[in-house]
Amino acid sequence: MRTETSLGNVHTGGCHCGEVRYEVCGELHDAVICHCNLCRKLHGHVSSYARIGKDALHLIRDEGLRWYRLSDQTDRGFCKECGSSLFWRPVRSEEVAITPGTLDGATGIATSGQIFCADKGDYYPIDPAIKVLDC
């Protein structure tokens, strides 16, 4: 759900069970699909991320939130109760990314690109309508 406030657009979202709820107060970038093996392992298929500034993310309820250290560079945020994948956080960055599927209702964003196409699974095609980005 997106509502207009004096602060601009506010998006709300959360996990399936409700133990993690969040607001994004600020710009929500278009989503990028990642085909890498790591994302497919974590999500069960390709993943999609929408970048936001770290300051734009406000946790309303975080009882279920756990951070999984993927590498020395990134963490993944998920709900320990229902398993929803919610956040991806580079350790040394002022940005975090949310998984747009966890937003409530219409997001107002688009999918602007896809990355790690060469690493994709062999069980699905690449959508040629989505721009391939270098990363």
If one asks whether residue 95 binds Zn ion (CB under 5 A), the answer comes out as no
Pairwise CA distance, residues 99 & 57, whole Å: 13
Q: What sign does the dihedral 61-36-52-75 (CA atoms) show?
A: positive
If one asks whether residue 62 binds Zn ion (CB under 5 A), the answer comes out as no
If one asks whether residue 17 binds Zn ion (CB under 5 A), the answer comes out as yes
If one asks whether residue 86 binds Zn ion (CB under 5 A), the answer comes out as no
Q: How far is the CB of 97 from Zn ion (least distance, A)?
A: 18
Contact present, 11 and 29 (Cβ < 8 Å): no
Stretch that binds Zn ion, among 39-47, 52-60, 63-71, 126-134 (CB under 5 A): 63-71
Residue for token pair 């993943």: 47
Q: Which amino acid is at 93?
A: S
If one asks whether residue 64 binds Zn ion (CB under 5 A), the answer comes out as yes
Nearer to Zn ion, 82 or 110 (CB): 82
Q: How far is the CB of 46 from Zn ion (least distance, A)?
A: 21
Nearer to Zn ion, 60 or 91 (CB): 60
If one asks whether residue 57 binds Zn ion (CB under 5 A), the answer comes out as no
Contact present, 84 and 65 (Cβ < 8 Å): no
Contact present, 11 and 1 (Cβ < 8 Å): yes
Q: What are phi and psi of 61, to 5 degrees?
A: -145, 125
Q: Applying CB under 5 A, which residues contact Zn ion? A: 15, 17, 19, 64, 79, 81-82
